[in-house]
A and B are shown apart, each in its own frame.
Chain A
Amino acid sequence: MERRTRILRSLGILATIGVIYVTLVFLAPDQYYQLMLTLVAVWAVMGISWNTLSGYSGLISFGHAAFFGLGAYTVVLLQVHWGITPWIGIPLAGCVGALAGLLIGLPSFRLRGHYFALAMLAYPLALLYIFEWLGYNEVAIPMERTNPVAYMQFGDMRIYALLAFVLLSLAVIVGVLIESSRFGLSLLAIKQNELAAEAAGIRTLRWKLYAISTSGAIAGVIGGFYAVILLVVTPPTVFGMLTSAQALIVTLFGGISTVWGPVLGAAILIPLSETLHAELGNVLPGIQGVVFGVAIVLVILLAPEGLIWKLRDFAMRGRETDVEDRLSAADVADPGPLPDRPHALTGPVLLQVENLSKSFGGLQAVQDVSFDVPEGSVIGIIGPNGAGKTTLFNLLNGFQAPDRGRVVFDGEDLVGLRPSGICARGIGRTFQVARPFRRLTILRNVLVGAYVSAETDEIALQHAREAIALVGLEGHEDRIASGLTSMEQRLMELARALASKPKMLFLDEILAGLGQTEVNRMIHVIRAISDNGTTILIIEHTMQAMLRLADRFVVLDHGALLASGPPAEVVKDPEVIEAYLGKRWRDRA
Chain B
Amino acid sequence: MILSENFLQALAAGLMVGCLYGLMCTGLGMIFGIMRVINFAQGDLMMLGMYSTWYMFAGFGFLAFLGTYAGPIAGALLTGPLLFVVGYYMHKFLIVHVTGLRTSDSEGEGHYAQLILTLGIALILQNGGLILFGSEPTSIRTPMSSSAWVIGPLWGDFVEVFINQARAVGAIVSIGVAVALFFFVTRTRLGKALQASADNAEAAIYMGINVDRAHHIAFGIGTGVTAIAGGLVAFYYPFQPYVGIEFVIVMYAGVVLGGFGSIIGAFWGGMIIGLVQQMSTLILPIQLQNTAIFVVFLLVIFLRPQGLFGRNVERV
Q: Which residues of A contact B (CB under 8 A)?
A: 58, 60, 62, 107, 110-115, 117-119, 121-123, 125-126, 129-130, 132-133, 193, 195-196, 199, 241-242, 245, 248-249, 252, 284-290, 292-297, 300-301, 304, 390, 394, 399-400, 431-432
The one of A300, A390, A432 in contact with B113, judged by C-beta atoms closer than 8 angstroms, is: A300
Q: Is B172 an interface residue (CB 8 A)?
A: no
Whether A288 contacts B111 in the complex (CB less than 8 A), given A121-B249, A297-B117, comes out as no
Residues of A within 8 A of B302 (CB): 107, 110-111, 119
CA distance A133 to B129 in the complex (A): 27
Q: Is the CB of A112 within 8 A of B130?
A: no
Q: A119-B301, A290-B128 in contact; A125/B290 too (CB < 8 A)?
A: yes
Q: Given the complex of chains A and B, what is the CA–CA distance between A136 and B269 in angstroms?
A: 33
Distance (whole angstroms) from the CB of B302 to the closest CB of chain A: 6
Contact present for B116 and A252 (CB under 8 Å): yes
Contact between A119 and B298, CB atoms less than 8 A apart? yes
Smallest CB–CB gap between A170 and chain B, Å? 28
Q: Which A residues are in CB contact (< 8 Å) with B287?
A: 129, 132-133
Contact A130 B116 (CB under 8 A): no
B135 within 8 A of A: yes
Tell me which of B129, B252, B307 contacts A111 (CB under 8 A): B307
In the complex, residue of chain B having the shortest beta-carbon distance to the beta carbon of A435? B316
Q: How far is the CA of A298 from the CA of B134 in the complex (A)?
A: 26
Whether A195 and B120, one on each chain, are in contact in the complex, defined by CB atoms closer than 8 angstroms, is: no
The answer to whether B121 touches A293 (Cβ under 8 A) is yes
- Distance between Cα atoms of A117 and B245 in the complex (Å): 14
Give chain B residues whose Cβ lies under 8 Å from the Cβ of A284: 131
Q: Is the CB of A289 within 8 A of B117?
A: no
CB atoms of A300 and B117 under 8 A apart: yes
CB <8 Å contact, B127 and A286: yes
Compute how far the CA of A295 lies from the CA of B121 in the bound complex, rounded to whole angstroms. 10
Nearest-neighbor residue (CB-CB) of A288 within chain B:
B127
Per-residue contact bits, chain B 299-316, to A (CB 8 Å; 1 contact, 0 not): 001100111011001111
Pairs A–B under 8 Å by Cβ, sample size 19:
A58-B112, A112-B310, A113-B307, A114-B114, A115-B301, A119-B302, A126-B294, A129-B287, A193-B316, A195-B314, A195-B316, A196-B316, A286-B241, A290-B124, A290-B127, A293-B120, A293-B125, A300-B117, A304-B113
Contact among B94, B135, B309 with A113 in the assembled complex (CB-CB below 8 Å): B309
8 Å CB contact of B123 from A112, A195, A293:
A293
Residue pair A285, B306 in contact (C-beta under 8 Å): no
Q: Is B288 an interface residue, CB under 8 A from the partner?
A: yes
Which residues of chain B from 198 to 252 have a CB within 8 Å of any chain A CB? 241, 245, 248-249, 252
A300 with B122: CB separation less than 8 A? no
- Alpha-carbon separation in the docked complex, A195 to B305 (Å): 16
Please give me the residue from chain B that is nearest to A133 by CB atom.
Answer: B287
Are A113 and B111 in contact, CB atoms less than 8 angstroms apart?
Answer: yes
Q: Which residues of B contact A399 (CB under 8 A)?
A: 313, 316
Chain A residues with Cβ below 8 Å from B117 are: 296-297, 300-301
Please report the number of residue pairs spanning A and B whose Cβ atoms sit closer than 8 angstroms: 145
Distance, CA A392 to CA B44, complexed state (A): 51
Counting from the closest, the 3 A-B pairs by CB-CB distance are A286-B127, A289-B127, A293-B123
Q: Cβ of A111 and Cβ of B113 under 8 Å apart?
A: no
| CB <8 Å contact, A286 and B252 | no
B94→A297 contact, CB < 8 A: yes
In the complex where A122-B298, A286-B130 touch, is A248 in contact with B116 (Cβ < 8 A)?
yes
A residues in contact with B135, CB < 8 Å: 285
Interface string of B274-296 (1 = CB under 8 A from A): 00000000000101101100110
Query: CA A199 – CA B97 in complex, angstroms?
Result: 33
User: Closest Cβ of chain A: how far from B6's Cβ, in Å?
Assistant: 20
Tell me the complex Cα distance, A130–B295, Å: 12
In the complex, chain B residues 75-102 whose Cβ is within 8 Å of any chain A Cβ: 94, 97-98
Is the beta-carbon distance between B123 and A289 smaller than 8 angstroms?
yes
Tell which of A121, A133, A289, A400 touches B130, judged by Cβ atoms closer than 8 Å.
Answer: A289
Of the candidates A114, A133, A195, A290, the one whose C-beta lies within 8 Å of that of B111 is A114
Q: How far is the CB of B242 from chain A (nearest CB, A)?
A: 8
Q: B38 near A: Cβ within 8 Å? A: yes
Residue in B131, B252, B298, B305 whose beta carbon sits within 8 Å of that of A285 in the complex: B131
Contact code string B30-72 (vs A, CB < 8 Å = 1, else 0): 0000000010000000000000000000000000000000000
Partner of A431, one of B122, B297, B316: B316
Establish whether residues A113 and B249, one from each chain, have CB atoms under 8 Å apart when the complex forms.
Answer: no
| A528 CB, nearest partner CB in chain B, Å | 26
Chain A residue at minimum C-beta to C-beta distance from B241: A286
Q: In the complex, what residues of B have CB within 8 A of residue A199's CB?
A: 316
> Do A114 and B115 have beta carbons less than 8 Å apart?
yes
Q: In this assembly, does B165 line the interface, its C-beta being within 8 Å of a C-beta of chain A? A: no
Whether B120 and A294, one on each chain, are in contact in the complex, defined by CB atoms closer than 8 angstroms, is yes
Q: Report A467 CB to chain B, min CB distance, Å.
A: 21
List of A residues within 8 angstroms of B241 by Cβ: 286
- Whether A296 contacts B119 by the Cβ 8 Å rule is yes
Check: B26 CB closer than 8 A to any chain A CB. Answer: no
- B120 and A125 within 8 A (CB): no
CB distance from B135 to the nearest CB of A (A): 7
Q: Are B94 and A287 in contact (CB under 8 A)?
A: no
A122–B127 touching, CB < 8 Å: no
Q: Report B-chain residues with C-beta under 8 Å of the C-beta of A118.
A: 252, 297, 301
A290, B314: Cβ atoms closer than 8 Å: no
Does B197 interact with chain A (Cβ within 8 Å)? no
The answer, yes or no, to whether B195 is at the interface (CB within 8 Å) is no
Residues of A contacting B119 in the complex (Cβ-Cβ under 8 angstroms): 62, 245, 248, 296
Provide the bound-state CA to CA distance between A521 and B122, in Å: 53
Which residue of chain B lies nearest to A60 when distances are taken between CB atoms in the complex? B112
Given that A110-B305, A113-B111, A132-B287 are known contacts, is A296 also in contact with B316, CB under 8 Å in the complex?
A: no
Residues on B with C-beta less than 8 A from A248 are: 116, 119
- On whether the beta carbons of B316 and A286 are closer than 8 Å, the reply is no
Verify if B108 is at the interface (C-beta below 8 Å from A). Answer: yes
CB-CB < 8 A to B248: which residues of A? 121
A126–B116 CB distance below 8 A:
no
A241 and B127 contact, Cβ closer than 8 Å, known pairs A110-B305, A113-B307: no
Min C-beta distance of B82 to chain A, whole Å: 22
B174 sits at the interface (CB 8 A): no
Q: In the bound complex, what is the Cα–Cα distance between A508 and B271 (angstroms)?
A: 49
Residue from the list A115, A126, A287 in contact with B295, Cβ < 8 A: A126
A252 to B115, CA, bound (A): 13
Tell me, in angstroms, the Cα distance from A195 to B97 when the chains sit together. 28
Q: Which residues of A contact B252 (CB under 8 A)?
A: 118
Bound form: Cα–Cα A133–B287 in Å: 6
Docked pose: A394 CA to B112 CA in angstroms: 29
Contact B120 A129 (CB under 8 A): no
